[in-house]
Structure 1
Amino acid sequence: FVIARNSAFAYKGHAVDVTRVARELGVRYVLEGSVRKAGSRLRVAGQLIEAASGVNLWADRFEGGVSEVFELQDLVASSVIGAISPRLEQAEMARAKRKPTESLDAYDHYLRGMASLYRWTREGLEAALPQFYKAIELDPDFAAAEGAAAWCYFWRMANGWMTDPQKETAEVSRLAGNVAIAGQDDAVALAFSGLALGYVIGDYEAGSALADRALVLNPNCAAAWSASGCLKACHDDPDIAIEHLSRARRLSPLDPLTFFMQCFTAFAHFTAGRYDAAWPIAEAASRAQPYYLTGLRVAAASNAMAGRLDAASKHIAGSLRLDPELTLSNLKHRVGLIKPDYFARYVEALRLAGLPE
């Protein structure tokens, strides 16, 4: 929760001790800052502090003209929200992992699940799902945990880790349906669920509707822009997809999901036929997260269509080491029901890269 401005403003103009402020307001984190004016220029500085340790989690500054004060206000608001959200989540994960297991509540289980998920390995995912389900058991209306669980099935499908596709697909539909009802005020849960609906179920309209609801609820939510961009890259307009993914990266430049945003930016360039623009971005995504098979496949396809067959072959070899059963014939079970002409071009490119029939 966030303290109301009227309470926070009680400290304005005073030299304050962050630890005391946090204790008096009942919060774990304090965002403080200053505004300075020199002539017609304004400088706004801010920093996020973990009160218990005094550690500075984030700091930045913004400058603009006095005549642009409202634009500057919007820039500061969106940048602060986008930047501190992943930092707060990572700090909360670390706090939950330090907590004794016998005192965990639903939110702690959720955070432990997210920490395991962010390892991006099969073992991490298998450790994450039970944590999310335990959180849901403790709090049946916990939309964030249901959205994260649905998101896990997205990763299972993309990496070829599903063991019972029919059952897991039905579970995605159930979880996303619950989020649509209970997650009215949780943009991240809506975004994760929308992405899972579009990718795993192939219901682009329903998935996009949830992503759109997330963006209306919080236009500064990087996860919502990222989910929307991914869905549009697979089903719709590649240029709008790139715009949405770029917005996500601007809002959260140090996001742990940067590789995911890069991957689908590359795929959008691929579907638009801009192969020379696609392959460097796909390769950057693969370097950042070598266990993400979609990144390896997009890198292989983009290189192949750009005439870089040696590089394409290398990425196919990497894909097959991680997913030995991958073939052109079962590719649709990894990429879902994407737009037919996009899928046909993808198959053509991966055949050229050396993926077996």
Structure 2
Amino acid sequence: MTTGHAASRRDYSPTAFWRGRLSPFRTRRLLEAHLLLLTVCATVAVGALLLSYHQTQRGAEALSSREAPAVQGLAAARLAVLRAEWETEVLLKNDLIRVAGSGETYRSQLSAADQSLSRIADRTDQDLGTVNGLLATYGNSLNLGTSLYQGQPYMQEQKLREAKSLLIRPGVGLVPRLDRLQQIQLQHAEGTAAMGWVQRSGWWVAELALAALVLTLMSALFVLRDRCGRDWNPYLLAGFVLTVLLAVVPVMTTSSTEDDLDNAFSDLQTITEVSGQNCCSHALVGAQQEVTEKSEEVRGELADDAWTDRVYRGTLIGGLLVVLLPATGLVLRLDSDYWRRR
């Protein structure tokens, strides 16, 4: 009768169930295992997180400082030389070559093309020597045809034909070479703006490690409460909150940055397409204006945002705390309850 009464009062609560499940393990060993797992998960998560976030920042910086200006500069140079050719044709058609100051427009376009190429010389790995040489030769032929040989129609026509050939000759002319440089530079920009598989894998590793860290922290809090009689551990709770923040804030920031990179690359594609059209007459003016406007949009999208740097610094500090806080909490508990008693 007594046995039945005792059995009827047996504790079937969840706490008793888990206490029974944990009873074969020594609490000290269990806490030491949690300490090791927390340290490993936190280290892997923080390392992958910082590496992936840094790669995103480097991509944004490279696109802003190198790739985008190079694409814009090549587009501006191409339109400028075509505009110079068109302005020369207008002068010849309207017989305005002998008018004082009539050649200033095409000369200013040649100067603009030269300045565009000079600005991007240190922002591209491509060799611009041949293009610069062709531009100088083309400009010299135009000047000879419009100024020096004004009274010699045969020589003037020859120099202008020579300039036209230097400009549009298939494969080796100035415009075809600029077209090839633009396409190559756009491919470089696409590779810089896109998130590669290594970087994407880094984010997956970071998020999975953070998820494992959250579960381990919850398990450690349960063990401390169930086996040690400690309801809350402030170090582990602080580590739990920081882990959740690290799993959310850097990803959101990176997603926003990647959206900006995608939008900027889309504008760079538009710039390349607009400048690549064989525009004629006044359409060149509109194309130059559109390229200028799109370039301003790209600069705005890739503007250096101080908040991304602050998020990176916050991630670095938070990552160090995520490694240290849970480890400190468990080490203090182990030292107080077990290690000193050995």
- Fold equivalence (TM over 0.5): no
**TM bucket by the smaller chain?**
under 0.3
Alignment TM-score, normalising by the size of structure 2: 0.22
Higher strand fraction (1 or 2)? 1
Higher helix fraction (1 or 2)? 2
